[in-house]
Amino acid sequence: MKKFLIFIVVIVAFSLILGTFLQKLPAMPILADGFFQSIKVGQPEQGYELFSNEYQQAVSLEQYKTWLQVTRLDQYQNVRWAGKGIMKNDQGKLAGVLYTKSGDSFPVVFYYVLDENKRWRISNVEIKPISNQ
């Protein structure tokens, strides 16, 4: 019985430590990086799934794919984030600079909302070309 009690205490302590650690992770950069990784590996559908339900209701998958081409996000090479993101209430914002395979760079801003399950979702992405190198 004593071993079982020690086992339970260890599991509870581990769960608390793990939960605290996971809450400290910068969710917004991780989500945005997942979005870009889906583009890089040629699976934009996975990136689409990271958007909020409201976005997906307003923008079809085909419109989303066209948007990726028009904005040249489908040419993603790398991104540098300016921090971990800003959170206020149920909204967030993450800014950075996107670099494309052709050498272009763009300021990029991701906007986030918490969904009904308290998970961050991308609500919008703002991109403006700034240079052609």
As a whole number of angstroms, the distance between CA 18 and CA 29 comes to 20
In this predicted structure, what is the pLDDT of residue 85?
76
Residue that wins the pLDDT comparison between 104 and 18: 104
As a whole number of angstroms, the distance between CA 20 and CA 11 comes to 14
As a whole number of angstroms, the distance between CA 96 and CA 110 comes to 9
Which CATH superfamily does the domain covering 26-127 fall into?
NTF2-like; domain 1 (3.10.450.100)
In the three-class reduction of DSSP (H, G, I as helix; E, B as strand; rest coil), residue 52 is classed as coil
In this predicted structure, what is the pLDDT of residue 22?
36
In this predicted structure, what is the pLDDT of residue 21?
36
* 14-29 pLDDT per residue, tens: 444 434 333 333 578 8
Contacts 24+ apart (CB under 8 A), 65-68: 68/39, 68/44
* 46-69 pLDDT per residue, tens: 999 999 999 999 999 999 999 999
Q: What are the boundaries of each domain within the chain?
A: 26-127
Mean pLDDT of all residues belonging to the chain: 81
Which structure tokens are listed for 110?
Answer: 């991701």
Yes or no: say if 108 and 96 are a contact pair by the CB < 8 Å rule. Answer: yes
